[in-house]
Amino acid sequence: MSQNNFIAGVPWRNPRDLKTLVENRTTYTLDSCELNIFETHQEASDVNLVFGDLVLTTMLKGKKVMHLFDRPRFDYLPGESVIVPPNEVMKIDFPEAQWDNPTQCIALSISKEMIENTFNMLNERLPDKVLSQEWGLDLSYFHLINTQDLSEIINRFIKIGVKERSKEKDLIASLALKELLIRLNQTQAREMLQKTYKELSSGNRLAHVVDFIKKNIRENLTLEQLASQACMSKAHFVRTFKQELGQTPVEFILSERLKLARYYLQIGGFQVKEVAVMSGFNSIGYFIRAFKQEYGTTPKSFQKQ
What is the tens place of the pLDDT at every residue in 89-123? 999 999 999 988 899 999 999 999 999 999 999 99
What is the tens place of the pLDDT at every residue in 225-280? 999 999 999 999 999 999 999 999 999 999 999 999 999 999 988 999 999 999 99
Compute the distance between CA of residue 190 and CA of residue 104 in angstroms, rounded to an integer. 27
Compute the distance between CA of residue 274 and CA of residue 265 in angstroms, rounded to an integer. 10
Helix, strand, or coil (residue 218): coil
Helix, strand, or coil (residue 187): helix
Position 1 pLDDT exceeds 60: no
What predicted TM-score, i.e. pTM, was given to this entire model? 0.86
Mean residue pLDDT of the chain comes to 92
What is the tens place of the pLDDT at every residue in 124-167? 999 989 988 899 999 999 999 998 899 999 999 999 999 999 99
What is the secondary structure of 33-101 as a DSSP string?
A: EEEEEEEE-S-EEEEEE--SSEEEEEEEES-EEEE-TTPPPEEE-TTEEEEE-TTPPEEEEESS-BTTB
Q: Per-residue confidence at 54, pLDDT binned at 50, 70, 90?
A: very high
